[in-house]
Amino acid sequence: MRVLGIETSCDETAVAIVEAPAGSAPGGLILANVVYSQQTEHRRFGGVVPEIAARAHLERIDGLVEDALTEARLGLDDLDAIAATGGPGLIGGVMVGVMAAKGLAFAREKPFLAINHLEGHALTVRLTEQVEFPYLLLLVSGGHCQLLTVRGPGDFTRLGTTIDDAVGECFDKTAKLLGLGFPGGPAVERLARDGDAQRFSLPRPMWRKAGCDFSFSGLKTAVRQTVEKLDPDDERARADLCASFQRTVGDVLADRCANALAMAPSPTLVVAGGVAANLYLRGRLEEVAARNGARLVAPPVKLCTDNGAMIAWAGIERLRLGLTDALDFKPRPRWPL
Ligand code: KG4
Ligand code: ZN
Q: Residue 282: which CATH number?
A: 3.30.420.40
User: Does 330 fall in a domain?
Assistant: no
**Residue 149 sits in the same domain as residue 260:** yes
Q: Is any ligand 1 atom within 6 A of the Cβ of residue 88?
A: no
**Residue 181 sits in the same domain as residue 82:** no
**Residue 181 sits in the same domain as residue 105:** no
Is residue 244 within 8 Å of 196, Cβ to Cβ? yes
Residue nearest ligand 1's atom 7 by CA: 142
Residue 182's pLDDT is: 82
User: Does 230 fall in a domain?
Assistant: yes
Spacing, Cα 46 to ligand 1 middle (Å): 15
Annotated ligand binding at 259? The verdict is no
**Residue 154 sits in the same domain as residue 58:** no
Q: Is any ligand 1 atom within 6 A of the Cβ of residue 183?
A: yes
**Residue 182 sits in the same domain as residue 152:** yes
Spacing, Cα 29 to ligand 1 middle (Å): 24
Residue 269's pLDDT is: 98
Q: Is any ligand 1 atom within 6 A of the Cβ of residue 244?
A: no
Instruction: Give the position, in ligand 1's atom list, of the atom nearest the Cα of 305.
Output: 3
Is residue 274 within 8 Å of 305, Cβ to Cβ? yes
User: Does 260 fall in a domain?
Assistant: yes
Q: Is any ligand 1 atom within 6 A of the Cβ of residue 172?
A: yes
Q: Is any ligand 1 atom within 6 A of the Cβ of residue 168?
A: yes
Q: Is any ligand 1 atom within 6 A of the Cβ of residue 278?
A: yes
Residue 181's pLDDT is: 85
Domain with 198 in it: 133-298
CA distances from 263 to 150, 212, 257, 260, 272 (A): 14, 9, 10, 5, 20
Q: Pinpoint the alpha helices (H) of 19-90.
A: 39-43, 50-72
The number of folded domains in the chain is 2
Residue 43's pLDDT is: 86
User: Does 333 fall in a domain?
Assistant: no
User: Does 326 fall in a domain?
Assistant: no
Residue 38's pLDDT is: 92
**Residue 103 sits in the same domain as residue 184:** no
Residue 59's pLDDT is: 97
Residue 45's pLDDT is: 87
Q: pTM of the predicted model, to two decimals?
A: 0.97
Beta strand 145-152 pairing with 135-140: antiparallel
Q: Is any ligand 1 atom within 6 A of the Cβ of residue 142?
A: yes
Ligand closest to CA 303: 1
Ligand closest to CA 182: 1
User: Does 331 fall in a domain?
Assistant: no
Query: How far apart are alpha carbons 250 and 31 in whole angstroms?
Result: 35
**Residue 34 sits in the same domain as residue 115:** yes
**Residue 143 sits in the same domain as residue 290:** yes
Spacing, Cα 40 to ligand 1 middle (Å): 16
User: Does 332 fall in a domain?
Assistant: no
- CA angle, 32 then 34 then 39, to 5°: 165
Secondary-structure breakdown of the chain: helix, strand, coil percentages, each rounded to the nearest 5: 45, 20, 35
Residue 196's pLDDT is: 98
Residue 44's pLDDT is: 86
Residue 160's pLDDT is: 98
Spacing, Cα 260 to ligand 1 middle (Å): 22
**Residue 141 sits in the same domain as residue 231:** yes
The residue among 128, 163, 164 whose CA lies nearest residue 272 is 128
**Residue 167 sits in the same domain as residue 282:** yes
Spacing, Cα 8 to ligand 2 middle (Å): 10
**Residue 201 sits in the same domain as residue 314:** no
Residue 183's pLDDT is: 83
**Residue 140 sits in the same domain as residue 91:** no
Burial (CB count <10 Å: 0-12, 13-18, 19+), residue 277: buried
Spacing, Cα 274 to ligand 1 middle (Å): 3
Low-confidence ranges of the chain (pLDDT < 50): none
Pocket-testing residue among 271, 275, 285, ligand 1, by greatest number of atoms within 8 A of Cβ: 275
User: Does 327 fall in a domain?
Assistant: no
